[in-house]
């Protein structure tokens, strides 16, 4: 990484308490300034803050139980922390605040507003959770558009696990996903709609082509057989995008560790370097 760069990454860690050692180790090896995490799967009082502090990172976390959970770790400051975004839908029909779902968390780090996002899965095409997913994406798009309407020069990064593979080449075999979520026309349209609000995928230009994935299931040796999906993204506002000088999917962090080590997350980190 260039000495004058700012490195921002996102990683679905799939249980931070299980993998905190791996995560903090990579933060230091990877010279990462800001890391957005998803699926921390713990409450705020269970989050393992101390290893991050010992490594020089401040942490903010939003989690309530063993589901979902989002966090941001930064060694360049954490300001203006926000839990949830305006208009964020809630899955609960019992009046539970959408923020309690722990799917969206923001902080300003070195002048960049970083949103750690864990977009709903959708489950199946005929499940009510699928409509909830589309509503969630539409609400995020509308709110993000309003941010740029107010300040076109705002530096904003929408990062995380989007649970969408935007093109056929973003899955290992599109025929396997016929009539499935993640690749449906409505989900892809919802993802593409962010480009109309001027948020663009800033990593793909540096990682083009088929077979470039960010997620591999644990079953049936999916990683070893290269059966993956590209579902983790960094979408940047125009002012953010123009600063990007490098993008990368750190596939090696998905590889199994030494015997006895905790299993890796089923996702790989995704990062960008920004010119300061």
Distance (Å, rounded) from C-alpha 106 to C-alpha 61?
10
The residues annotated as belonging to the active site are 118, 161, 267
Q: Tell me the β-bridge partners of 36.
A: 10, 72
Query: Annotated binding residue at 12?
Result: yes
The dihedrals phi and psi of 5, each to the nearest 5 degrees, come to -90, 160
The pLDDT tens digits of the residues spanning 186-231 come to 999 999 999 999 999 999 999 999 999 999 999 989 999 999 999 9
Domain that holds residue 72: 5-275
Distance (Å, rounded) from C-alpha 6 to C-alpha 97?
34
Q: Model pTM?
A: 0.96
Output the pLDDT for position 95.
56
In DSSP notation, the chain reads --TTEEEEEEEE-S-HHHHHHHHHHHHHHTT-SEEEEE---S-GGGS-HHHHHHTT-EEEEE--SSS--EEEEESS--EEEEES-TT---S-SS---GGGG--EEEEEETTEEEEEEE-----STTSHHHHHHHHHHHHHHHHHHHHHHH-TT--EEEEEE-----SGGGBS-GGGGTT-TTS-HHHHHHHHHHHHTT-EESSGGGS-STT--SEE-SGGGTTTTT-EE--EEEEE-HHHHTTEEEEEE-GGGGS--STTSPPPPSB--EEEEEE-
The dihedrals phi and psi of 37, each to the nearest 5 degrees, come to -120, 150
Looking at the 3D structure of the chain, how many domains does it have?
Answer: 1
Q: Can you tell me the mean pLDDT for 95-115?
A: 89
Query: Annotated binding residue at 267?
Result: yes
Cα distance between the two ends of the chain: 12
Output the pLDDT for position 94.
61
Output the pLDDT for position 107.
98
Distance (Å, rounded) from C-alpha 139 to C-alpha 88?
6
Which of the two residues, 99 and 179, has the higher pLDDT score? 179
The pLDDT tens digits of the residues spanning 128-168 come to 999 999 999 999 999 999 999 999 999 999 999 999 999 99
Query: Annotated binding residue at 163?
Result: yes
Mean pLDDT lowest among 3-7, 72-76, 120-124, 212-216: 3-7
Mean pLDDT score of the chain = 95
* Structural tokens at position 212: 């470039």
Half-sphere exposure of residue 196, counting CA atoms within 13 Å on the CB side?
A: 10
Output the pLDDT for position 234.
99
Q: Can you tell me the mean pLDDT for 114-118?
A: 98
User: Do the beta carbons of residue 183 and residue 125 sit within 8 Å?
Assistant: no
Q: Can you tell me the mean pLDDT for 226-253?
A: 98
Give the confidence band of 91 by pLDDT, cuts at 50, 70, 90: confident
Task: Give me the CATH number covering residue 182.
Answer: 3.60.10.10
Query: Annotated binding residue at 151?
Result: no
């Amino acid at each position: 990484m260039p000495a004058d760069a700012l490195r921002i990454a996102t990683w679905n860690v799939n249980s931070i308490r299980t993998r905190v050692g791996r995560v903090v180790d990579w933060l230091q090896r990877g010279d990462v300034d800001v890391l957005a995490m998803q699926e921390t799967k713990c409450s705020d009082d269970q989050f393992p803050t101390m290893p991050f502090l010992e490594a020089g990172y401040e942490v903010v976390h939003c989690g309530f139980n063993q589901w979902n959970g989002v966090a941001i770790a930064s060694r360049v400051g954490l300001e203006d922390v926000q839990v949830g975004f305006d208009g964020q839908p809630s899955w609960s029909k019992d009046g539970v605040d959408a923020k309690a779902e722990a799917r969206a968390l923001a902080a300003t780090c070195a002048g960049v507003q970083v949103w750690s996002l864990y977009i709903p899965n959708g489950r199946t095409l005929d499940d009510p959770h699928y409509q909830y997913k589309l509503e969630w994406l539409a609400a995020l798009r509308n709110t993000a558009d309003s941010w740029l309407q107010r300040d076109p020069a705002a530096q904003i990064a929408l990062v995380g696990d989007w649970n969408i593979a935007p093109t056929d080449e973003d899955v290992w075999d599109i025929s396997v996903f016929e009539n499935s979520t993640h690749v449906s026309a409505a989900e892809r349209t919802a993802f593409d709609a962010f480009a109309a609000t001027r948020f663009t995928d800033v990593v793909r230009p540096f990682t083009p082509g088929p077979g470039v994935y960010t997620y591999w299931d644990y079953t049936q040796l999916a990683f070893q057989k290269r059966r993956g999906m590209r579902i983790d993204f960094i979408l940047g506002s125009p002012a953010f995008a123009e600063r990007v000088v490098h993008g990368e999917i750190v596939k090696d962090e998905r590889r199994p560790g030494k015997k006895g080590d905790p299993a890796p997350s089923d996702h790989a980190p995704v990062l960008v370097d920004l010119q300061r």
